[in-house]
Amino acid sequence: MKFFVDTADVDMIRELAELGMVDGVTTNPSLIRKSGRDIKTVTREICDMIDGPVSAEVVATDADGMIAEGRHLAEIAPNIAIKVPLTWAGLKACRVLTAEGKMVNVTLCFSAAQALLAAKAGATFVSPFIGRLDDINLDGMELIAEIREIYDNYDFPTEILAASIRSVNHVVTAARIGADIATIPPQVLRKLADHPLTDKGLAAFLADWRETGQSIL
Ligand code: E4P
């Protein structure tokens, strides 16, 4: 499973990239707002830092506007993936931008039917939002499983990018189902390494080691 980081905070991306855990980055208008920075400046900085796909989202709602914004964003760097919403206008823009050889991430996917359309529009990535489905008492993981089944049935090359991830369990379950990618908030990605028995075991080993009076170096 590839890990994308779901943030526009360059310092956090840099820290995680140094750990070798960042295969790509996703941003959206809310994350750009949170960063307090200019979209082009911050996106260029992220693209310079990361070799993999960096999603930057359009804000037009008509296909022509999305295509124009997508082309503009794609000029920032060759690793830009243009993010378009899962609407008919977004699907039309996806088809045009994909035909131009650009990576497209179809976002705000909440149903298997929508994911089927994204694949048929030639999307590079589809982003089903797990957490936001869970928030309204629907099963985000069931959606990931349905999309996996459909894409496998027809060998669609569109990659399933599990998004709106809120917990370690979301990452693990999405990986078990076979999502190609998880886009993970930095604080959740850091928690993947945590386990109380690791902390307890390490403390016990270090206490015993101190008793030996030895040193390795
Ligand atoms: C995905 O690309 C989105 O940026 C993101 O995962 C949305 O997550 P949220 O529902 O926590 O805002």
108 — alpha (psi -120 to 50), left (phi > 0) or beta? left
Helix, strand, coil share (%) of the chain residues, nearest 5: 55, 20, 30
For all residues of the chain together, what is the average pLDDT? 98
Q: Taking CB atoms and a 6 Å cutoff, what residues make up the pocket around ligand 1? A: 6, 26, 28, 107, 127, 129, 131-132, 163-164, 183
Q: How far is 154 from 134, CA to CA, in rounded Å?
A: 28
Over the stretch 51-69, which tens digit does the pLDDT of each residue have?
999 999 999 999 999 999 9
**Mean pLDDT in residue range 180-187:** 98
Tell me the percentage of the chain whose pLDDT exceeds 70.
100
Which of 187, 153, 150 is CA-nearest to residue 171? 187
Q: How far is 160 from 126, CA to CA, in rounded Å?
A: 5
Q: What separation in Å is there between the alpha carbon of 71 and the centre of ligand 1?
A: 23
Is the pTM for the entire model greater than 0.85?
Answer: yes
Q: What separation in Å is there between the alpha carbon of 150 and the centre of ligand 1?
A: 23
For the domain spanning 2-212, the CATH number is 3.20.20.70
Per the annotation, the verdict on 83 as an active-site residue is yes
